[in-house]
Structure 1
Amino acid sequence: MKDIDNTKASSEDLKEKLDEEIHQAEEVETEEKEDNSVEIEIEDEDKPKESKKRKNIFGKESEKDKLKTELEEQKEKFAEVHDKYLRLYSEFDNYRKRTQKEKLEIIKNASEDMIMNLLPVVDDFERALENLQKSDDIEALSEGVNLIFQKFYSILEKKGLKPIEAKNEKFDTDFHEAITQIPLQEGMEENVIVDEIEKGYMLNEKVIRYSKVVIAK
């Protein structure tokens, strides 16, 4: 009877041990499942981060491409403006050279025209000098020289030359240059020109030589 009881007790102990091992095995399996679940969740949580990272990278690359395109456009605009500047500068330089050349031609032609007008006067002077050696008629020679002078002066007047009025005129710094002054005497007005040392001239209303004068002060 005791043997039967012992055998029964051993069977129950064995069953308890088996149940305990099965329970432990189930707990281990449950823990492994939970761990796997956590890993999957962590991986799932990381996926949006990776996706955002990729989006950021692609976004930066897109912005970089946009800036690169804008830079190329600005380079093209600069090249176009620079080309226009060079062409305008070249045109202006050619214009400057052309006008300078034309100005020199005008001066040259004006000088040539003046000389051509004065050549007859030179001819008259040459004839007067020849007559001076052949004739003793001083009055006739004087009249001839006076006619030559009138002819010469007439040519200058046609070119715009005009004498500046000075003697007995009021002193004007726009036309006159006071060389000296004398004390004011009876019958004289102050700052009036009493004598002209050198005649002044205007060419086309522009003073080319001031009258050198003496004034009463």
Structure 2
Amino acid sequence: KYKFKIKKILLQKLNEKKELTKKLENELQEMKKLAQEKDNLSKEYLEYLKRLQADFENYKKQQEKKKKEFIEFANEKLLNNLLPVVDNLEKALDSTKNENNLETIKQGINNILKDFHNILMREGVHPIKALDQKFDPYKHEAVMSFETDKYPEDTVTEELRKGYYIKSKVLRPAMVKVAILTKQKKNTEKEN
């Protein structure tokens, strides 16, 4: 009886261990399958990342090439507009060989200057108004000053070199001469 019970218990334990082993083997197979899927997925992501990185590198190279081309040819339109002015200067120079008429030469140079101004206007370049304006360090470069009572202090009295805007930005400030009050006038103003 006891042997039978022990045998039954041992068989039961053996069956439980077999079931547990089978269950663990199934779980192990499931884990291996999941690990393989994750491994495959990580390989796919890695390949995708490599392709993405290569695409990005190609994109950067394309953008760099476009940037170089843009810089290289950015002034092409402006330079093309200047070529007729060069042609006119060459014609004016040639005409001085045959003519002694100073007025004709002056008129030719004046026409060329008008051509230049027209090109500048088309490109958005226009002069800064300086004469009789209050000195503005953003638009004017004071290279001379003089004491006077004829002008209010910090008034631009002479434009030594024109300044220009490109659109609304200062391209080059105007070189100017600025009025400052005489010491006598300053003292009078301080007293009042």
Q: TM-score higher than 0.5 here?
A: yes
Counterparts of residues 91-110 of structure 1 (less than 5 Å) = 91-110=55-74
Residue 126 (structure 1) aligns with? 90
Cα separation, 2, equivalents of 1:50 and 1:197: 110
Q: Would you say the 8 A contact 1:195–1:215 is kept in 2?
A: yes
Which runs of no fewer than 5 residues in structure 1 stay unpaired?
1-36
Q: Would you say the 8 A contact 2:160–2:176 is kept in 1?
A: yes
Cα separation, 2, equivalents of 1:72 and 1:172: 74
Q: Which has the higher contact order (CA 8 A, sep 6+)?
A: 2
Is 1:166 the counterpart of 2:140 in the alignment?
A: no
Q: Would you say the 8 A contact 2:128–2:174 is kept in 1?
A: yes
Q: What SS does the corresponding residue of 1:202 show, helix, strand or coil?
A: strand
Q: Aligned AA for 1:122?
A: V
Q: Would you say the 8 A contact 2:125–2:166 is kept in 1?
A: yes
Q: Aligned AA for 2:162?
A: K
- Choose which of 151, 167, 171 in structure 2 pairs with 1:208: 171
Q: Aligned AA for 2:27?
A: E
Residue 14 (structure 2) aligns with? 50
TM-score between the two structures when normalised by the length of structure 1: 0.61
Counterparts of residues 136-175 of structure 1 (less than 5 Å) = 136-172=100-136, 175=138
Instruction: Tell me the C-alpha RMSD between the 2 structures.
Output: 3.5
Which runs of no fewer than 5 residues in structure 2 stay unpaired?
181-192
Following TM superposition, by how much is the alpha carbon of 1:87 offset from its aligned partner in structure 2, in angstroms? Answer: 3.7
Greater percentage in helix:
1
**Which protein is bigger by CA-based radius of gyration?**
1
Q: 1:165 to 1:75 in 2, by over 3 A?
A: farther
Q: 1:170 to 1:80 in 2, by over 3 A?
A: farther
Aligned pairs, number: 179
TM-score between the two structures when normalised by the length of structure 2: 0.67
Residue 187 (structure 2) aligns with? none
